[in-house]
Structure 1
Amino acid sequence: MKTHLFTGGLMVFSLLSYATADDHPCDSNNPCVEGCCSSTVNLCGYGPDYCGKNCIAEASHQGSCAQKSECDPGYFPGYGTVWALGGTTSDFCGTTSVTEPSCGGTSSAKRTVGYYEGFSQNRACDGKTIHPIPIGGYTHINFAFIYIDPNTYKLTPMAENQVDLYSRTTALKQQDSNLQVWFSIGGWDFNDPGATATTFSKLAASTAAQAAFFESVNEYMTTYGFDGIDIDWEYPVTSDRNGSPEDYENYVTLLQNLRRYLSSKGSYGLSITIPSSYWYMKNFDIANISKTIDWFNIMTYDLHGTWDSDADHVGKVVYAHTNLTEIKQSMDLLWRNDIDPSMVNLGLGFYGRSKSTAVKYSSEVEKLILIGFTLSDSSCKEPGCPFSGGGTSGVLSYTEIEDVLNDATLGAVMTLDPVAAVQIVTWSGDQWVSFDNEGTFAKKREFANSQCLGG
């Protein structure tokens, strides 16, 4: 979901995803596709546990144990351990230190990038049109999303009823001469099973497809008055999201070609969206990508949700999806690759993650019943407490959470977690959600400024 703001403003587990070589079983007849084969556990991975004295050379990638450590700057941002996890803490990278940028002042005030979701106008509850967007509050607005036709590789509307919104969004520049309006291509579900599952991979691998794509991009720029493009390809390489191993290098080439094309047509901007978790970020060659784009929009939200339910290292417990502790650790993945902090926009989420669908109607009374995570034990309300029920993902919007707080019949209580810099709301005895308000957004902006972020 892209109801969020990238502005000057994880529990460790969101960084501790499965090892970079997918924990692939290995032996001399089944060598590693990447990484080294450890004779101790007969799994593929990186770091001394895999590439050290216990390495089986003939079962390792390219028949060699001389694999560069993923903790080294300029390489992948972390490496795995024999526990089949990956991350950047001392458990994973030993005593390797990270030099974090440090600043005073208000560096992040340079850019405030807001995403407007075209499909939000169709929401049954709390739908949003162009008109409430505060003029003067943003330096950039990204219209989300525009799709790529999987057959022609030309741009196509996410939905036909959104086309009218393109010009209406860019028309906001008439009220603010400093505002830029870009459009975002792809999105979190673009790689889901279906017609577009492999579209980004095929586009990145084909110069012919890119030629059609670039021409279509220019047509959208000139027809609707957009100023730049944001590529939201969230899962390159990742096999469980229809990625390909070639994506790692091909994405760099795609962006280089796109930048050259855009420069030949005018002064258009180019950014990409990147994940904050090690498991997905390792598939981006961020060091080389940074040489081509204007900035990164890092998704420092959705760090936790119902998708944790089946993960052994987290499980069915409640955690804040915008935990500042985890956000700090995720940023170290960038600093290990010497990324200029002025190129980074910190993502803020204007919603809370819940277990079920956002709302349902009561059959007894005519009012909306707002659903969060249902706690297994109503007396256990701290982050880390277990929740019950299935794993259907849902969202409570900022407005809906305010409705919970303002409804005296629900007995809602809001509690600040000062370390995580999030608000925890409990109501109706066993309902739980975390979110950010003005106070916790301010703490995240302070963090962005302290690390010299550009937005």
Structure 2
Amino acid sequence: MWTPSSPGFAQYYTHLNYGFSPLINANLVIGDPTPAEIAKYNDLLALKKTYPSLSVGMTFGGDIVDISPMSKACATDSARTTFATSTVQWTRKYGFDGIDIDWEFPGDTNRGGTANDPANFVLCMKALRDAIEAEQIPSGKSKLWLSAALPGGAGWGSHYQVDKSIQYVDWFNIMAYNIQGTWFSVAQCSAPLYDPFRGKGNTGNDIDAAVKYFVGQSGNQPGKFNLGMSFWGIAYVLQNPSNNQLGLADTFTGNQKLANPGPCSQQPGYMAYFETVQLLQQNHPQTSLDPKGDCKYFTYDTDQLVAYEDPDTIKVKVQYALDQKLGGVSIWGMDSDTRVLDMHKSVSGVTGVSNSPQSSPSTPGNTSGGSNSTTSSGSNTNSSGGSDSGNSSPQPTRSANSAVTNGISLVLIAALLSLQ
């Protein structure tokens, strides 16, 4: 995780989101942070002194077991008004520049959601937009921005009613990672660019399908979406160690607890990039590339398979975001990079965007008064982590042209680069 002694990552991003705020309390407002949490806020916000163009937001919600407080806070007009107004006040009180909503997932009754959540998500975004527009902006401050996280596909994605909610947000962050995993019958990339089984009994659980779905729902507004990526790899235990190619390798039974955990993260079934690098250096395995999924993989200790991203595969996905004219990219798990920030540098290398102390403040595309319009240069999107599968990774952007400058934004453990 980021600490005050490792601030160098900030030069590669336009926005940072802190994840996560205190939970919603019994009064349906965000709870008060502890002194220790406030100290962390201030550590992150202090980066703006070195990088004045940084915009730092707070992510509210996350991958939590009980989402009923969010459901209740958005259930009625009065509750939404209370929640929205108090959230704007909370955000200002602690010095943040924007509000990021990570509701996983509206309507998930297994987590305390209700059937009314999808419609109420739209109304809650409207209430937040209204509260932002009604705020008397403090002297020397800019209007707060509003973003929201989307899952990595149409399954839960339909519950966000993007065709209606998009008018209220400045950008969406598509959590296009942890799309595949041991809950499927074969080992694959965690976030395949293209599902190699698409059209073969599989509807397409991949980045391309997620992006095409949400952009289509938006009425073709790609600039209001950020492509979410992760630096985490996924680990499997093979049933048949000799069958060790992605797309062919049988997983165990959908339970990742048998996979060796990373020595630092200690999360079975997942591997931070720096841990993957250590394994490669220690074991010298043969690595392979999945050309459709765009991830690399290797086996070690006979039956352990790791599918992972590296600087080369991340570049391909950033270029995809550029080619699709998305607003930006976001990174979940900035703490999983190497000490020399190989992955962050790779993202920035494709976009050509950097954040120097001399740069002027950067603001994502604005949405006001419930309008679908964006700024003349387009809107910038960012995202924080999650998944469409209901299985979550350890929670913790296209290149610029003469008309559009894209960037990156980051949440304490997640980063966002806005490309427009």
TM-score range, shorter chain: 0.5 to 0.7
1:440 has 2:313 as partner? yes
- The one-letter amino acid of 1:297's match is N
| Cα 1:321–1:286 shift into 2, 3 Å | same
What's the offset of the Cα at 1:234?
A: 2.0
- The one-letter amino acid of 1:332's match is K
| Cα 1:256–1:433 shift into 2, 3 Å | same
Higher Cα Rg, which structure: 1
**Superimposed CA distance per residue, residues 206-228 of structure 1 (whole angstroms, 9 cap, x where no aligned partner):** 33333443343233322321000
Q: Secondary structure at the match of 1:296?
A: strand
Q: Map 1:419-434 onto structure 2 (within 5 A).
A: 419-434=292-307
| Cα 1:253–1:139 shift into 2, 3 Å | same
- Answer whether contact 1:301 1:348 (CA < 8 A) is retained: yes
1:146 has 2:40 as partner? no
**Superimposed CA distance per residue, residues 175-231 of structure 1 (whole angstroms, 9 cap, x where no aligned partner):** 111110001011112xx1xxx431111111133333443343233322321000100
1:188 has 2:188 as partner? no
- The one-letter amino acid of 1:426's match is T
User: Which of structures 1 and 2 has the larger relative contact order (alpha carbons within 8 angstroms, sep 6+)?
Assistant: 2
Work out the CA distance in 1 between the residues paired with 2:79 and 2:269.
36
Q: Secondary structure at the match of 2:234?
A: strand
What's the offset of the Cα at 1:380?
A: 1.2
Work out the CA distance in 1 between the residues paired with 2:104 and 2:190.
18
* Aligned counterpart, 2:214: 334
**Superimposed CA distance per residue, residues 320-351 of structure 1 (whole angstroms, 9 cap, x where no aligned partner):** 11100021112121233224100010011011
What's the offset of the Cα at 1:391?
A: 4.1
TM-score by length of 2: 0.67
User: Once structures 1 and 2 are overlaid, which stretch shifts more, 434-443 or 220-229?
Assistant: 220-229
Structure 2 portions without partners, runs of 5+: 138-142, 195-205, 258-267, 329-420
* Aligned counterpart, 2:145: 269
1:305 has 2:181 as partner? yes
Work out the CA distance in 1 between the residues paired with 2:33 and 2:306.
30
What's the offset of the Cα at 1:152?
A: 1.6
- The one-letter amino acid of 2:297's match is I
* Aligned counterpart, 2:238: 375
Work out the CA distance in 2 between the residues paired with 1:288 and 1:130.
40
- Answer whether contact 2:15 2:55 (CA < 8 A) is retained: yes
| Cα 1:244–1:395 shift into 2, 3 Å | same
Percentage identity across paired residues of the two chains: 27
- Answer whether contact 1:422 1:440 (CA < 8 A) is retained: yes
1:165 has 2:69 as partner? no
Structure 1 portions without partners, runs of 5+: 1-119, 121-127, 309-313, 355-372
* Aligned counterpart, 2:171: 295
- Answer whether contact 1:320 1:435 (CA < 8 A) is retained: yes
- Answer whether contact 2:74 2:83 (CA < 8 A) is retained: no
- The one-letter amino acid of 1:324's match is L
- Answer whether contact 1:228 1:270 (CA < 8 A) is retained: yes
Q: Secondary structure at the match of 1:336?
A: helix
What's the offset of the Cα at 1:292?
A: 0.6
Work out the CA distance in 1 between the residues paired with 2:128 and 2:10.
30
- Answer whether contact 1:144 1:184 (CA < 8 A) is retained: yes
| Cα 1:253–1:228 shift into 2, 3 Å | same
- Answer whether contact 1:344 1:453 (CA < 8 A) is retained: yes
| Cα 1:328–1:171 shift into 2, 3 Å | same
Q: Secondary structure at the match of 1:300?
A: coil
Work out the CA distance in 2 between the residues paired with 1:434 and 1:157.
40
What's the offset of the Cα at 1:147?
A: 3.2
- The one-letter amino acid of 2:90's match is Y
What's the offset of the Cα at 1:149?
A: 2.6
Q: Map 1:351-370 onto structure 2 (within 5 A).
A: 351-354=232-235
- Answer whether contact 2:20 2:58 (CA < 8 A) is retained: yes
* Aligned counterpart, 1:318: 187
- Answer whether contact 2:100 2:149 (CA < 8 A) is retained: yes
Work out the CA distance in 1 between the residues paired with 2:289 and 2:131.
48
* Aligned counterpart, 1:34: none
1:233 has 2:233 as partner? no
Matched pairs, number:
297
Aligned with 1:404 (options 279, 292, 296): 279
Work out the CA distance in 1 between the residues paired with 2:108 and 2:92.
34
TM-score by length of 1: 0.62
- The one-letter amino acid of 1:413's match is Q
| Cα 1:165–1:418 shift into 2, 3 Å | same
Aligned with 1:350 (options 231, 246, 255): 231
**Superimposed CA distance per residue, residues 291-344 of structure 1 (whole angstroms, 9 cap, x where no aligned partner):** 1100010011001223x1xxxxx33x2111110002111212123322410001
Q: Secondary structure at the match of 2:6?
A: coil
Q: Map 1:93-172 onto structure 2 (within 5 A).
A: 120=1, 128-133=2-7, 134-156=9-31, 161-172=36-47
What's the offset of the Cα at 1:251?
A: 1.0
- Answer whether contact 1:271 1:293 (CA < 8 A) is retained: yes
Work out the CA distance in 2 between the residues paired with 1:162 and 1:418.
43
Aligned with 2:76 (options 195, 203, 206): 206
- The one-letter amino acid of 1:275's match is P
* Aligned counterpart, 2:252: 388
Work out the CA distance in 1 between the residues paired with 2:133 and 2:287.
49
